Structures are given as C-alpha cells and as structure tokens.
A and B are shown apart, each in its own frame.
Chain A
Amino acid sequence: MIPGLGRALVLLALLVATGGALVGVAAALRPSGAGREWTRRLAYAFSALMVLANLLMVYALLARDFSVSYVAQVGSRQVPDWVAVVSLWSSLEGSILFWGAILGVFVATATWSLGERHPEYAPWATAVWLTCGAFFAFLLAGPAHPFATVAIPPPDGPGPNPLLQNHLLMIVHPPFLYLGFVGMTIPFGLASAALLAGRLGADFLRPLRTWLLVPWVFLTVAIVLGGWWAYEVLGWGGYWAWDPVENASFLPWLTATAALHSALLVERKGVLKGWTITLVQASFLLTILGTFMTRSGVFNSVHSFTQSAIGPTLLAFLATSLVFSVALLATRVDRLAGEATLLGARSRDGMFLLNNLLLALFTFTVLLGTVFPLVVEAVRGVQMSVGRPYFDRMAAPLGVALLLLMGVGPALPWGTATAGQLRKALLPPLAGALAFTALGLALGVRNGWTLVTLAFGGYTAQVTLRELWLPLRQRMSRRGEGLARAIVETQRQSRRRTGAYVVHAGVVLIVIAIAVSSTMGYDTEVRLRAGESADIGPYRLTFLGADQVREPHRTSLVARVEVARDGRPVAVLGPRMNHYDTQREPIGTPAVRTGFGHDLYLSILNLDPATQTLGLHALVNPMVGWIWIATFVMALGGVLALLPSRRRPAATVPAAAPGAAQPETP
C-alpha cells in the first residue's frame, strides 16, 4: 500500500515538474499572465508532492513497514524513533528523496517571492528549477528508487550506519548541507533565466544576491557542523581532513563566496557580470559534482561507479548542466560587456578583484587535489589519493592572503585613493596586527604561519570593528541615540553592510582558531590499568575503571577517567565503545571537555574489561571551541544581511540625515 502510494507521488512529481518546465518555457517565449500563473501552480504542486512523498517515507520508517524497500534497507525495530526519522537521509535513495523535498520547498518559496515582479525572466527561472526537479524525480522513479515493494518483508532490518546513530549532530548536519547544496539551484536558475531572457540590467541582481546568500548561510553552517560531528564522533581528534566528502562541500562555498563579492562590483560599477554569473553557475555545478563524488562511489574506484545506482545518471546531468551553462554564456557574451572600466589597484574595487582571484585559485587548488586521483586512476589504473600536506600547504598562504584582503579592502575607499588617503586608511590597523601578534607570542605561539595569521587577523579585526563602530558612533553623537537604539537603527538602514562585517568578524575568529588549533595542539598515547595515572599538559588523567552500560539499542563500554588539573579533580570523563545490537563491530565515541582556551579530548584505542586495561589517546586541542562560536557569528551575520524581510516596503526606512548614515557598502 505505502510502496504504491509512494511510487504514485514520485511519478506525479516527475510529470508535474516536466509539465511545469515546459509551460514555463512557453510562458517565457509567448508572455501571458495565464502561462505564468500555471507555471507557478505547477511549481507549488511539485513542491507539495515531494513533501508528501517524504512524509510518507517518514511514516513508513516510524511504522517499520518493511514492505518498503528503503525501510527494509535502513530501518530497524531496535532503534529509537529519532534514529528512525534520521534514517531518511542515512542512505542513498532516502537522501535523494530528501533532496527532492528540500528542492520543492526552495522552488515554492522562490516562486512565491518572485511573484509577478519579474515577468520577463521569472518563468525562465521556474522552468530551470523544475527541470532540476524533474531530474531528481526521475532519479527517484528509476535509478534510486526508495519505494520499491519488498515481496516478502523481513521481520526486522539492519538499521542505519551506526556512525550516524552515534551523535545528535547527525540530525542537523545533513539537513543543513542539503539546504546549502539544493539551495544553489535557485541562484543557478535566476542567473540562467537572466541570460535566457537577455535581461542583465541591475534588476536581476537583487533576487540573485538574496538567493545566493540563503544557501551560503546554510552551507557555511553545514560545513562546520560536519567538522564538529567528525570531531565528536570519529575519535581521531581533528575536525577537518581534506577528505573528498569535505572538499565536496567546501568547493561550492568558495565559489559562492566569490560570487557574493563580485555581485557587489556588478551592482556598484556594472562590471564583472559574466564573471559573477559564471561563479553562480559554477557553485551549482560543484554541488552536483560533490553529490556525484560522494554518492556514486567513484572514489572507491573510477570503474565501479558505473555500477552504482545513480553514478552515470548524475554524471550525465552534470555534463548537460555544464554544456547548458557554457553555451548560454557564450551566446549571450555580447550582453555581458561591462558598463565601466575597473579602477586601479589602489582602491576597494581592486581588492574585490584580488579577492575573487584568490578564491578562484583556492577553488582550483582544492578541486585539482580532489579530482586528480580520479583522473590518474581512469588513465593509468593506479589507485591513490592526494595527501593532506598538499592541501595544508596550498590553503595556508591563500587563507592568510584572503584574511589580509578582508582588512585592506574595506579600509580603502571606492575609486582611486591618493597616497595620503592610503596612509590614513592602512596604517592605523597595524596596531591591531601588533596587538594580536604580541598576545600570541606571550601565549607561546612560535609557528610562523600562525603568527602571520594572528598579525593579519588583528589587522582585519581592527578594520572590521571600526567599520561596525563608526556608523554607531555617528548616530549616537549626532542624534543623541543610545547604543541599543543606534545598533537597531543602523542594522535596519544598512542591513547588508552590518551583516557583511559581522560575517567578516566571524571569519577572522574562525581562521585564527583553525591556525592555532592545528599548530598548537599536543597528544599522547598511554596504556593504563585501573588506578594508574598519566599526565598531559596541565592535566593528570586517572583511569578509575570500566563499566558496561546497557541501553535499548546498544551496549556500551565506558572508561571512567578522572581529570585533575593542578592537583584538583575537575571532572570524570567517559570515552566509550558503543556496540550496536544490529552491528558486528563496536564504534568508539570520544569524550571532549570543552574549555575557553582548549579542549581536553579523550579517545579509547582499546579497552579490555576483563583485565581493566585501557589504551587511551589523549589530546589537548587549543581554541577548537572558538570554531563553533565563530561559525555562529558568521551565520548571524548572514541572517542579519537577509533581515528584515525583503517584502517590507522601502518607505518604512527613515530618511537618513545628511552625512549621518554610511551608504550600503559591505
């Protein structure tokens, strides 16, 4: 019953998306109100069908209906209900289904927010979105089919991958990642529509920027949540390994970040239109490439991906999208000419250009390191990967250069600066650079890259805080407003500018935290019998003993480790080995004591309850907690830039007193 209903919903969604795309194209070619109306209706219908199909699957997972193939594959009677729900995105077919729901919600929201306002290119945009929708509905109808009927339902299923059951972060990380990945479809559709309609004036930028920023915020959070999950679950003590899966999420983030900045140059100067559109399209293509890389098994073997359910289909979609994007850009190249020439290097314009250049190089570097092994295997049949040192070595200089640019760019005026202006703008932040470096030296930082990061970070921090503070001070002194009111009013008047600098502040923090945590940590491996102690840094670790803990779906071996600092006991940590009933091998879960300056991270190497012997890996990871805080700041900045709602009429913004408000120049 459920399999049949699910198949019907998926097929209907495929039909509606295909129909909607065709109607959209027709409405764009022969403009008519009715055509646009029908395009929108079909977009809403696609969204509703996809959401319904997902609700149906969630119901089947909760009901443990093993006649549904996907439930038979990942469901289990022994897992708690929250794990059953999370199973929706724990394996291939379910995650494509979930992708469909998110795409539906995005398409419906974007269609609704465009409304009747851009009749020339809105139907094109909806047609592009629904074409993507049709593709994913096709995947669900054929290659990645979650609603197949199981003729003889098994009495119970294996449950999802235990690594996913092991931490609550797995509830939030995948949805954020999908919101970031799938959301890139919307700016892709808008940019393609602008090209298709040949409307490349200023009006296409506003929705494009907004709809680029939305997935950007989700993607930012998702990338860090993924790192956080790895840190809390995998037990090797780090949060980022330049693994293909991680790179797949980082690549579109880099291009989207570049596009958010180049869009500003389009807006202010009318230049870099083609480049900005290229970046938007690249962001979308990289999300599809990322999905292909992580979902087709191509990294296990280049030759085996053709046997995966969706590998060839995804590759064909990627190729088609790429050809479509390039062809579209090529045929519209005449409309993409800049309306002005760029000014010289001694201006904010030049810094934006440099920023885009560095981000493009960064993307190229990471992409090359990720894809290179695939090319080598395809050509020479040798299996290999590119080691982490390559990525670290390339990322460090690019990262610190971008960090410095974030300070120099905003300090410079738009247009060419005189030597005097340059001195006045660029010299004072050296104080911040000096202060951060001195603080680092005092706290024992000796690594060259980390010191450079601190210096550049201090420089940029001073510029960023100054840019955030200046409009507040102006309001307070000229209008006599209190600080709180000045903050609210400034935010309301220049939400994008404020948001952007808050994001920058978060970036400064996260880059410093990454540099410090990856160069200043230390670790030790020890073997302890019950009652024995070992020292690491300021801590003395005493193994009290191991206990067995029984939970409904798993049995855990917990090592009780007393942590003493300066002779005083401060905590008892419990790193554990979890043995899931549905799985053969146990999985370790580290215990982390998060602190202001550093984390103490304990991970079990091996634990023998019979002899009460513990093999323990202990790490001191400085500043890791700040990475999570910095991400919150970045997300907050993104949300500030998106608020208040775009639908609020512009008239509610009070007219600025002469010279009181800064223009919106993030």
Chain B
Amino acid sequence: MSASSDVAPAARGRNRWFAVAALAVAGAAFAVITAGGIGENLVYYWGPTDLHAAGDKAVGATIRLGGQVGEGSVAVGEGVSSLEFDVVDGKSKVHVKASGMPPQMFRDGIGVVVEGTMTRDGHFEGRKLMVSHDNEYRAPGDGTVDVKALMRSLEEGAEGEAK
C-alpha cells in the first residue's frame, strides 16, 4: 500500500517506510503465531515401542498409536463408556483405556490406530479409535507389526482414494 498521490514527496517516502515497517511487524507476528500454532498441535504417529521410547514426552502429547489388538486383551465394560485392550507390535505393548463403543470390526488381532495421549500412571487414554479396513494388510509372519504400513493402510482406507 503506497501513499496517496496528493501528498508531498517527503511525506510519501515516510509513509512508505511506515507501511514497510508495519508489514514487517505484521509478518513477524504472523510467523510467530503460525509456528506456535503448529508446535502446540502436533500429532505423533507412534507404535508401542516408539511410545515407550518417548518416555515422559508422550504424556500429554497427542499421539496416534498404531498396532494390533493384543490377543485376549479386550475387556468391554457395561454401557457405552468403557473399553480396555492392549495395543501390541510384537516387541512391546501398551494398555489402552478408551471411552465410547468399539467399531464394528473391532476384535482380537485386528490392526487399530488409537488417537489419544499417555497418562502418568502408564496407560494410554484413547479418544478416537479406528480399525483397519484394508484388505491387503496382513501382519508379517514374525509377529512384529509394521506400524507404518498399518497407518498407511488406515489413512488410505479413510480418504486416500477419495481424491
């Protein structure tokens, strides 16, 4: 935004500098807000092993925990408010407490991604539970779960082919 044409040249120059300075300040402020906004809203994609490795960093952070539902670990409570199970990746496991009802295909051994956070007392508090819809996905033979392949299949199932 340059100055109006009917002002004196000196004033015009001064106005221009004001405009540049104002833009610079606004730009810097915007950059700070953006960086802060991103920093506060990161969602980490971790398997049980990554989650344990992260230690205290995982407490309070938003995490998408991917893995398989541990065999025989599912406990469905009364009503709609309690569901507990383990998420395993062949090497380690994380105990998940979730509220809400399990989705239709939820069962032992199926691939899941749980969004939520780690609590101080060592369980994972799930807020959102997604079940793998993918028909290609198979757990590898050695019992370890390729967490990234699972996340991939889940996200593709949800929207990847929607484009």
Contacts and interface: CB of A to CB of B under 8 A. Distances in A.
Interface of A: 90-91, 95, 158, 161, 163-164, 173-174, 177, 226, 229-230, 234, 243, 245-246, 248-249, 294-295, 297, 299-301, 304, 341-345, 350, 353, 361, 364-365, 368-369, 372, 382-390, 393-394, 416, 525-527, 577, 583-588, 604-607, 615
Nearest to B154: A300
Nearest to B132: A585
Contacts of A91: 161
Contact of A163 (B1, B155, B161): B161
3 residue pairs, one from A and one from B, having the closest CB atoms: A300-B152, A390-B41, A383-B45
A585 B157 CA distance: 11
A65 to B, nearest CB: 23
Given A301-B152, A586-B104, A384 B43 contact: yes
A300 B45 CA distance: 10
Interface string B71-93: 00000000110000000000000
B109 interface: no
B37 A585 contact: no
B30 interface: yes
Contacts of A301: 148, 152
B42 A365 contact: no
A164 B161 contact: yes
Contacts of B133: 163, 585, 587
B148 A300 contact: yes
A230 B162 CA distance: 9
Contacts of B132: 585
A428 B100 CA distance: 50
A369 B162 CA distance: 20
A578 to B, nearest CB: 11
Contacts of B134: 585
B120 interface: no
Contacts of A605: 100-104
Contacts of A525: 80, 100-101
A297 B152 contact: yes
Nearest to A226: B162
Nearest to A246: B159
B163 A177 contact: yes
Contact of B102 (A343, A364, A604, A606): A606
B24 interface: no
Q: Identify which of A301, A383, A389, A587 gathers the most chain B CB atoms within 10 Å of its CB.
A: A383
A241 to B, nearest CB: 8
B114 interface: no
A385 B157 CA distance: 17
Contact of A385 (B45, B80, B159): B45
Given A230-B159, A387-B62, A368 B104 contact: no
A243 B161 CA distance: 13
Contacts of A300: 148, 151-152, 155-156
A170 B157 CA distance: 15
B2 A588 contact: no
B104 A577 contact: yes
B38 A369 contact: yes
B36 to A, nearest CB: 9
A393 B33 CA distance: 10
Contacts of B135: 158, 583-585
Given A527-B101, A606-B103, A382 B44 contact: yes
B78 to A, nearest CB: 9
Given A390-B41, A586-B104, A295 B163 contact: yes
Contact of A393 (B1, B37, B42): B37
Nearest to A233: B162
A368 B39 CA distance: 12
B151 to A, nearest CB: 7
Interface in B128-163: 131-135, 148, 151-152, 155-163
Nearest to A607: B104
Contacts, number: 132
15 contacts: A90-B161, A174-B163, A229-B162, A230-B159, A248-B163, A345-B1, A350-B1, A383-B46, A383-B151, A384-B42, A386-B41, A386-B43, A390-B38, A394-B33, A586-B105
A393 B34 CA distance: 10
Contacts of A342: 1-2
A365 B45 CA distance: 22
Contacts of A90: 161
Interface in B27-80: 30, 33-34, 37-38, 40-46, 62, 64, 79-80
B101 A372 contact: no
Nearest to B4: A344
A372 B38 contact: yes
A365 B34 contact: yes
A493 to B, nearest CB: 31
Nearest to A615: B101
A331 B34 CA distance: 33
A385 B105 contact: no
Contacts of A389: 40-41
B163 A245 contact: yes
B38 A368 contact: yes
Interface string B1-12: 111111000000
Contacts of B162: 163-164, 173, 226, 229-230, 245
A416 B4 contact: yes
Contacts of B158: 234
Nearest to A340: B5
Nearest to A249: B163
B38 A161 contact: no
Contacts of A583: 135
A347 to B, nearest CB: 9
B45 A384 contact: yes
Contacts of B163: 95, 174, 177, 245, 248-249, 294-295
A241 B132 CA distance: 19
Contact of A387 (B41, B101, B102, B152): B41
Given A386-B41, A390-B41, A163 B104 contact: no
A390 B36 CA distance: 9
Given A174-B163, A248-B163, A586-B105, A343 B4 contact: yes
Nearest to A229: B162
Nearest to B153: A300
Nearest to B19: A345
A417 B11 CA distance: 19
Contacts of A350: 1
Nearest to B135: A584
Contact of A390 (B37, B100, B152): B37
A364 B27 CA distance: 12
B71 to A, nearest CB: 19
Nearest to A344: B4
A617 B64 CA distance: 22
B106 A606 contact: yes
Nearest to B147: A383
A481 B80 CA distance: 65
A197 B161 CA distance: 40
A495 to B, nearest CB: 31
B142 to A, nearest CB: 20
Contacts of B101: 525, 527, 605-606, 615
B1 A588 contact: no
Given A163-B162, A372-B38, A384 B44 contact: yes
